[in-house]
Amino acid sequence: MPRGVHRLRVVVALSPLVLTSACGGDPGAPGPVDEEACPADAEPTRTVSCVLDFTPGDGAGFGMDAYPDIVYGPPHGGASSSGSLDVLSLGKGGEIALGFGGNTIVNGPGPDFIVFENPFIIGGDPEKVFKELGEVSVSADGETWTTFSCQADAYPYEGCAGWRPVLGTPDSGDGIYNPEVAGGDVFDLEALGIDEVRFVRIKDISNFGAADTAGFDLDAVAIVHPSR
Ligand SMILES: [Ca+2]
Ligand SMILES: [Ca+2]
């Protein structure tokens, strides 16, 4: 999303953190995550609580000062006409694989999980949305992935993440798990013929934007139908 005036304000506010981070290494590099980051016996959560892998694309960097926590917990939406800044920019073609502690997503009635990016509607027309689309895959073991078909060519962008405004906030309580009120992009395992998965992977397919906010901007992911 374009940052405009708000973006400038945030850059100023975060600059001390960025400088501190730069002293310890490249602030654009992936954080210290590994394959043991999401053990099956970890406490189950309904929002992201571990990162299996993050491969930033060109122009990533925004949100890295708070990574990985910035993609954990509830979304920070609340309005259809503006996007959250509590996000991690994946960069062009970047991708991230996420887990929910020891929890799994099961195929219940309707949508099973929700991906929250930071799209926003322009001029009140829902079909005119500023978006940076992502392709979503799921996995039971973190190795074999199945990808949702994403209709990226024209509105409605069914099967893609990153085009429905986010309404849920940290004050929404269990509302962030309710597709009727949470906003965001919903995914139904039924479409893939899969009963249960542990991991969600999001890959930027927008290839859009300039550093350091290029590509899909991930706010949060919430499980509608958890196993625990
Ligand atoms: Ca379902
Ligand atoms: Ca972006």
13-58 pLDDT, tens digit per residue, is 333 333 333 333 344 444 433 457 899 899 999 999 999 999 999 9
Distance 134 CA to ligand 2 centre (A): 11
Distance 213 CA to ligand 2 centre (A): 4
Distance 110 CA to ligand 1 centre (A): 4
pLDDT for 36 equals: 79
Distance between CA atoms of 140 and 54, rounded to whole angstroms?
A: 18
- Ligand sitting nearest the alpha carbon of 212: 2
Contact 167, 119 (CB under 8 A): no
- Ligand sitting nearest the alpha carbon of 107: 1
The DSSP output letter for 92 is B
- Mean pLDDT for 192-199 is 98
pLDDT for 11 equals: 36
Domain residue ranges in the chain: 4-223
pLDDT for 43 equals: 95
Token readout for 56 is: 């930033």
pLDDT for 12 equals: 36
Distance 155 CA to ligand 1 centre (A): 23
Question: 105-151 pLDDT, tens per residue?
Answer: 999 999 999 999 999 999 999 899 999 999 999 999 999 999 999 99
Distance between CA atoms of 154 and 173, rounded to whole angstroms?
A: 33
Residue 61: what are its φ and ψ, rounded to 5°?
140, -40
Q: Where do we find the tokens 């929250």?
A: 116
- Ligand sitting nearest the alpha carbon of 91: 2
pLDDT for 16 equals: 36
Question: 151-193 pLDDT, tens per residue?
Answer: 999 999 999 999 999 999 999 999 999 999 999 999 999 999 9
Residue 120: what are its φ and ψ, rounded to 5°?
-150, 150
DSSP letters for 11-56: HHHHHHHHHHHHHTS-TTS--S--TTSS-TTSPP-SB--EEEEEE-
Please check the confidence at residue 104 and state whether its pLDDT lies above 90.
yes
What residues does 137 pair with on adjacent strands? 147, 201
Distance between CA atoms of 196 and 194, rounded to whole angstroms?
A: 6
Distance 3 CA to ligand 2 centre (A): 9
Distance 192 CA to ligand 1 centre (A): 10
Tell which wins on pLDDT, 4 or 173.
Answer: 173
Residues near 7 by beta carbon (within 8 Å), at least 6 away in sequence: 85, 213
Distance between CA atoms of 33 and 30, rounded to whole angstroms?
A: 8
Distance 194 CA to ligand 1 centre (A): 9
pLDDT for 24 equals: 33
- Mean pLDDT for 91-114 is 98
